[in-house]
Structure 1
Amino acid sequence: MTNEHNKDYVYDGRRIKLHKAELTAILLKRFPYYAHLLPQLKHVFENRVQRFIAVKSFIIPGSQAYKEVPVLLSAAAVQLTFGLQEFELPWFRYIRVHAEEYFADDPHALRVLAGHVEENVITVAWNHFLKGIADDRDGANVGLHEMAHALYYQHVIAHNGKRKGFIKELSDVMEESEEIYTLRHNYNVLYSDYAYKNLQEFWAESIELFFEKPEALQEHYPELFDNLKELLNQDPLNKTNPLLP
């Protein structure tokens, strides 16, 4: 349906008619993480993308939406959570797309955003999202970045820390992150200046680096790399079979 107030198209994931061949073609063409996987893991990935789509609504500018949009946005979430049993991020009912970078809804400051997470909505700028998935080696991926914020919120705020095993491993990640964050001026490698805005941005950028520059992250921050492996149950150095036993 179309929202007449802001000219957005609300794409109900439950009503998307997506054939397996369409899904596979989109992922093979546009999503490198999926393309590298072993055939049996590709099948698992596809099923998770379909399930993720079915529990979300996608708010897209214009009067129509293309199936590529919900598929690729859902794939970003599935990539991050591929090693976890819970992957649907149920707190977040909506995923909003802007055609390009947009202004934050902040009366006190003029800020231009490529993505953000607020209330039960994950928002991304489509041009930045596509750029992020087109190059899976540059360490910049707004899809992973915003899904990382959503994953943190899902477990720490929405679940109120009830998933004790995940929270323990997340605490290890955040403790190591805080140590690196504090020593920024002594040892500032890999991370952008924006990562040092606060620990939440450092966490999200760590996720980007974990998947896109795993060798460098392991070399410079081995404890953080190992903590992220344990948390996400993935080894990004093994592209064909990243899931840990």
Structure 2
Amino acid sequence: MEDLIIALIGILFFLGMFAIIIVKSISLFDVLYLHFFKKPIYIHFYFKLKKLNYQDERFIKDRFPFYNRLKPKQQKFFQHRVIIFMNDKSFEAREGFHMNNEVKLYISATAVMLTFGMRDFLLPAVHKILVYPDVYHSTINDAYHKGEFNPRMRALVFSWKHFLEGFASDRDNINLAVHEWVHVIQFNSKKEHDISASIFDDTSKELVKLLLYDNIRQRLEDTKYFREYAFTNEFEFVAVLVEYFIESPIEFRQKFPEFYAKVKKMLNYNFAGYKKSSMKIYCFNFI
């Protein structure tokens, strides 16, 4: 009996060491792959996929062209991530706002859209999401806000009126939800140490450095393409550029291909399209 116990302990020790070697090898290969190809070796890997019910998926289809461009297998990944994300966050209504499942879906799907090219998507920098019916008074700077991210409280705040306005037009390059979620990703990428966070943080710095080139600065001054708020600071610059990347990728790529390429690398997907006759046709490709 004693010999059997020793043998079992030996087997467990061997299996444990083997598992550690495998994990270390995968991590090393991941780092090497990132070094040579500048992207994660894999993004989606799940043991069991969760699926949205018919009504929830229809809600996503009706509001996110992004989702409709995905392949069926990728749509399953998207659904799974939305469910996991919703369950991970606390949603709280303020000032009489009615919180329901569709509000949670809309907010969660926006975050999942922005992180769909990233392996780690839960964004632990945010724990709770507060929703007001309209502009609200913020204690951060004693002013009225439409939305904000409070890293100390791990809270993301939205005015629902302005959240919806951001999705009402897909050509004005102003989207409150996208903008604020990008701020969360920015903060998260500086605190976390996963592959996707490193790519986002490093590439966002490269993006800002492009402003040092005289020819690019001259084009910025001549075209005035990006709205003035983009030049408030480097964090707002990146957030605004992602709004343009999502809402008008073709024009963005044509006017500032250098910036477009960096945003594409940051998010790890290519959101480009073209016009044919009077119909807008977009194509979505993973890189």
Place the TM-score, normalised by the shorter chain, in its bin: 0.7 to 0.9
Higher mean displacement: 179-188 or 24-33: 179-188
**Aligned CA distance change for structure 1 residues 92 and 227 (closer, same or farther; 3 Å):** same
Alignment of 1:243 with 2:278, yes or no, is no
- Residue 105 of structure 2 is matched in structure 1 by 71
Higher mean displacement: 26-35 or 196-205: 26-35
> Can you give the 5+ residue segments of structure 1 that lack an aligned partner in the other structure?
1-17
**Aligned CA distance change for structure 1 residues 193 and 169 (closer, same or farther; 3 Å):** closer
Q: Which amino acid aligns with 1:199?
A: E
Contact 1:178/1:199 (<8 A) preserved: no
SS in 2 for 1:130: helix
From 65, 69, 72, the counterpart of 1:32: 65
- Residue 160 of structure 2 is matched in structure 1 by 126
- Residue 145 of structure 1 is matched in structure 2 by 179
Identity %: 27
**Aligned CA distance change for structure 1 residues 216 and 241 (closer, same or farther; 3 Å):** closer
Q: Give CA-to-partner distance per residue, 1:3-37, whole Å, 9 cap, x none.
A: xxxxxxxxxxxxxxx95213202112222322333
Q: Which amino acid aligns with 2:269?
A: Q
- Residue 78 of structure 2 is matched in structure 1 by 45
- Residue 14 of structure 1 is matched in structure 2 by none
Q: Could you tell me how far apart the structure 2 residues matched to 1:84 and 1:58 are? A: 23
From 249, 253, 259, the counterpart of 1:224: 259
Q: Which amino acid aligns with 1:134?
A: A
Q: Could you tell me how far apart the structure 2 residues matched to 1:63 and 1:97 are? A: 7
> Can you give the 5+ residue segments of structure 2 that lack an aligned partner in the other structure?
1-50, 274-281
Contact 2:118/2:267 (<8 A) preserved: yes
**Aligned CA distance change for structure 1 residues 219 and 23 (closer, same or farther; 3 Å):** same
Q: Could you tell me how far apart the structure 1 residues matched to 2:261 and 2:91 are? A: 34
Alignment of 1:197 with 2:240, yes or no, is no
- TM-score normalised per structure 2: 0.70
Contact 2:204/2:238 (<8 A) preserved: no
From 213, 222, 230, the counterpart of 1:187: 222
Q: Could you tell me how far apart the structure 1 residues matched to 2:107 and 2:157 are? A: 10
**Aligned CA distance change for structure 1 residues 22 and 209 (closer, same or farther; 3 Å):** same
Structure with higher helix content: 2
Contact 1:117/1:123 (<8 A) preserved: yes
Contact 1:116/1:123 (<8 A) preserved: yes
Q: Give CA-to-partner distance per residue, 1:28-64, whole Å, 9 cap, x none.
A: 2222322333322221111111111111001113375
1:172: Cα distance to partner? 1.4
Contact 2:126/2:155 (<8 A) preserved: yes
Q: Give CA-to-partner distance per residue, 1:57-83, whole Å, 9 cap, x none.
A: 011133752100110101111111111
Contact 2:170/2:247 (<8 A) preserved: yes
Q: Which runs of 4+ in 1 moved over 4 A?
A: 160-163, 177-185
**Aligned CA distance change for structure 1 residues 160 and 208 (closer, same or farther; 3 Å):** same
- Residue 146 of structure 2 is matched in structure 1 by 114
**Aligned CA distance change for structure 1 residues 142 and 179 (closer, same or farther; 3 Å):** farther
Higher mean displacement: 56-65 or 143-152: 56-65
Higher mean displacement: 225-234 or 23-32: 23-32
